[in-house]
Structure 1
Amino acid sequence: MINGETSYLTHLAEVLWPCGGLMGRGGQRPVLGAAQLAPQYGGEVREYLPVPSAHKPRVILPVTHRYAAARGIVAFGQRHSFAERLRTSLLSTAFASGVAPLLLRDRLRVAAGRTIEHALSAALDREVIIAIHVGPPRANRKPVLLLLTPGGRVVGYAKVGVNALTSRLVRSETAALNRLVSARLPDITVPRLLHSGEWNGHPLLVQEALPVGEQTERPTRRQLLRCVTQIFALGRGREVRLSRSEYRRHLLRRVDALGARPEAPALRATLERLPDVGMPFGAWHGDLTRWNIASTPRRAFVWDWERLAFDVPAGFDALHYELNESVQIGVHQGVHRWLDSGAWLLRDPLLRATGLRPEAVSTVMALYLIDLATRYLHDRQAEAGSNLAAIDDWLLPALASLEERAAHEAGDAH
């Protein structure tokens, strides 16, 4: 039975393996195809396992390279809870022992011929096996390829754009990694760009794998804020009144570009009513979450720089991290908590050192929500199924509360 996920897999096969890919069951004839496996290529047909199934793929792993498959499970597994760690451990053991292909029925069969593996092996001048992270449906969903030696040692990661949005993000991350080569980030390690180019008409980047694993943890509050301030310092960090900032003008243009979207008038009206307070502007990572950062006591490792931007208010990265943490308990309850915890973070001495003043805290939080809503609407995240992207359900009410708080804070400062 074909659903949106199996259709996505066949489209992915067309991008990564132009020679052809077919969905089927183990031991059976293929039943669903992106294209018929091209007979002119000949050679051995390779098999991949969509895990947990073709109807809900999260990772795609090679059948014949069990150690590489086991390493892929560990690398892509979310291990933030006991249940997640247990699931990752069981799956990696199943692949390493060779049992997994007997238990998982769905197969993605790929013909021999011109494939992404050949292109990556040529770019890195060594044989590589790939395991693919697909992730849940989102507008910015794109394949992330773990590059491994046949013995299962990690070589790096590759990203491929599969539509207009993800292609733009891959190009943006390539530019960001090139820019960060000479950046001063005393306590942060950024992955090196190993290769950039195109594959099958789609943008491709390859970056090194950071030493993230059992020896790293989620950052403490202090580590997080130290990262936030060091990334912020990549920008100019100068204070400007909101009405005179290029950021506000750019955000207004982005809101106006939403056209007839019903949420746009409320976003613009709130932006125009926010108090004209001064605030420092610098850089932000743009998607600093628990999935894109890991720490040791002395160092932070930060990846996924595709939304790096400059000339934004101080504290955006801290607010973004805290919002994504807060909603782990549920969107409405989490956002209610974030309204307090986010303000608490912005008043921390580490962020105060950027020049962020108490009277600007709620204004900065409101600007962050307007910025996030505009991103979600332009990317059509709600249509892709993202819970946080239903902004009329939670974001607009939170924004109204912040607007009122911002007016009180600015008034109390005078």
Structure 2
Amino acid sequence: MNSETTYLTDLAAVLWPCGGLLGTGDGAVRRMAYRNRGNQYLPVPNAHNPRVILPAHNRSAATRGITSFAQGHSLRERLRTLMLTSAFATGVAPLLLRDRLFVGAGPGIEHALTTALDRELAIAIHVGPPRANRKPVLLLLTPGGRTIGYAKVGVNDLTARLVRAETRALHRLSRARLRDVTVPRPLYDGEWNGHPMLVQEALPVGHQTDRPTRHQLLRCVTQIVGISEVRERRLSESPYRRSLDERIARLGARPEATPLRTALHRLPDVSLPFGAWHGDLTRWNIASTARRAFVWDWERLTMDAPAGFDALHFDLNECVQAGVHPGVHRWLDSGTRLLRDPMLAGFGLRDHTVSTVMALYLIDLATRYLHDRQAESGSGMAAVDDWLLPALDGLQERAAHEAVRPV
């Protein structure tokens, strides 16, 4: 077993308390599964590199699961999705995919969700690449393959905290008035097998939606900022800086803590607008039409952060798609232009504070990565001392220059 197959069997123990066995499409494991009359799932592309887990004997649900979880941002990804959907639609996928996850008979996650929503359903599961906040996202489907919603299950301390946080966020957002932004409605929240579970509706995202344009992104960002009352404060007097300082202190003796704390205290004491931020607004969590944005994954919603953080986060993740180091260099310019857009200036974000906001964002992001131990999971973006701290040094100098000589 490698770490991924271990993860798969551990995940099976959470979703199906009756247990799960990894095996191939034939042999003793298969005969044992048939005797227990459990369900059979296919890890795709295989058990050593699972990204999705699909029902072996439900073509409609499996096909829908592939298309729903596909990123589809590159030609290679689109071709792979087309090949997989064709294999499942024609029924040959179980013959081509050797690995199986057999789960025993008895109440499992399917039964729990059927009871919670009071309707018959099938599931497909997205697990994604290894990372600290990796958790199963279950696509809930009718037996005929129509989408009902999504469920998330926390499987460790970090993901349990994130699922609970998103539950609170969605209930709060259900009372908010976002003119041009649609968020999922919570359908159910509770526990399964001792783990927190959240079920939310599926948003109407598909061929009619796309990644946001610059204008659509900023329109969305400004409406998210306004979820909480926007207040202007000097940085030194803000609850945000005190909170960030405390989070850095909780890093303890980690070597990155000292440069982060030093950078925070050296930033100019300028006045900034503070409001809400989504916390993880990326191309994977937003889709737009000309008039409306659909935004999901609200597990990091925060009510008091410098205005503009969401725009910076989206832009940074776009810039690094072709490589972290060249992407960060592009972001230092493109992020500056975003924060100077008139749409954000309406909140009181002034030109001479732009580099300060960008530096605060990097300090906040680094602190998050370190607390979540993202680098240990192999994420290149989480290598704080490799790219983030050098970028932060340059931003500190820019921030000091801007504050003394406003542009």
Q: Does 1:365 align with 2:358?
A: yes
Q: Which amino acid aligns with 2:28?
A: R
Distance in structure 2 (CA, Å) of the matches to 1:166 and 1:147: 20
Q: Does 1:10 align with 2:14?
A: no
Distance in structure 2 (CA, Å) of the matches to 1:43 and 1:54: 21
Cross-structure match for 1:146: 139
Cross-structure match for 1:127: 120
Q: Tell me, which stretches of 5 or more residues in structure 1 are unaligned?
A: 32-36
- Kindly tell me the number of residue pairs found equivalent between the two proteins: 407
Match of 1:78 among 66, 71, 86: 71
Distance in structure 2 (CA, Å) of the matches to 1:87 and 1:255: 42
Match of 1:291 among 279, 284, 289: 284
Distance in structure 2 (CA, Å) of the matches to 1:139 and 1:164: 10
How far did residue 384 of structure 1 move? Answer: 1.1
Which portions of structure 1, spanning 4 or more consecutive aligned residues, are displaced by more than 2 angstroms? 28-31
Distance in structure 1 (CA, Å) of the matches to 2:104 and 2:207: 37
Q: Which amino acid aligns with 2:26?
A: G
Q: Does 1:226 align with 2:215?
A: no
How far did residue 110 of structure 1 move? Answer: 0.6
Percent identity, aligned pairs only, is: 72
How far did residue 43 of structure 1 move? Answer: 4.7
Pairing 1:257-296 to 2, within 5 Å after superposition: 257-296=250-289
CA contact (8 A) 2:33 2:102 kept: no
How far did residue 38 of structure 1 move? Answer: 9.6
Match of 1:310 among 294, 300, 303: 303
What secondary structure does 2:382 align onto?
coil
How far did residue 184 of structure 1 move? Answer: 1.2
How far did residue 30 of structure 1 move? Answer: 3.1
Cross-structure match for 1:34: none
Per-residue CA shift, 1:276-335, capped at 9, x if unaligned? 011100000000000000011111100000000011001000000000000001000000
Q: Tell me, which stretches of 5 or more residues in structure 2 are unaligned?
A: none
CA contact (8 A) 1:20 1:38 kept: no
Distance in structure 2 (CA, Å) of the matches to 1:70 and 1:107: 17
Distance in structure 1 (CA, Å) of the matches to 2:33 and 2:246: 48
Distance in structure 1 (CA, Å) of the matches to 2:146 and 2:5: 29
Cross-structure match for 2:62: 69
Q: Which amino acid aligns with 1:18?
A: P
Distance in structure 2 (CA, Å) of the matches to 1:124 and 1:250: 39
What secondary structure does 1:351 align onto?
helix
Q: Does 1:184 align with 2:183?
A: no
How far did residue 251 of structure 1 move? Answer: 0.3
CA contact (8 A) 2:33 2:103 kept: no
Cross-structure match for 1:378: 371
What secondary structure does 1:388 align onto?
helix
- RMSD value over aligned CA atoms? 1.4
Cross-structure match for 2:324: 331
CA contact (8 A) 2:234 2:269 kept: yes
How far did residue 413 of structure 1 move? Answer: 2.4
Cross-structure match for 1:88: 81
Cross-structure match for 1:102: 95
Match of 1:172 among 138, 155, 165: 165
How far did residue 207 of structure 1 move? Answer: 0.3
Per-residue CA shift, 1:214-263, capped at 9, x if unaligned? 11100000000000000001122111010110100000000000001010
Match of 1:56 among 45, 49, 59: 49
What secondary structure does 2:268 align onto?
coil
Cross-structure match for 1:247: 240
Q: Which amino acid aligns with 2:247?
A: R
Distance in structure 1 (CA, Å) of the matches to 2:29 and 2:205: 38
How far did residue 96 of structure 1 move? Answer: 1.1
Cross-structure match for 2:38: 45
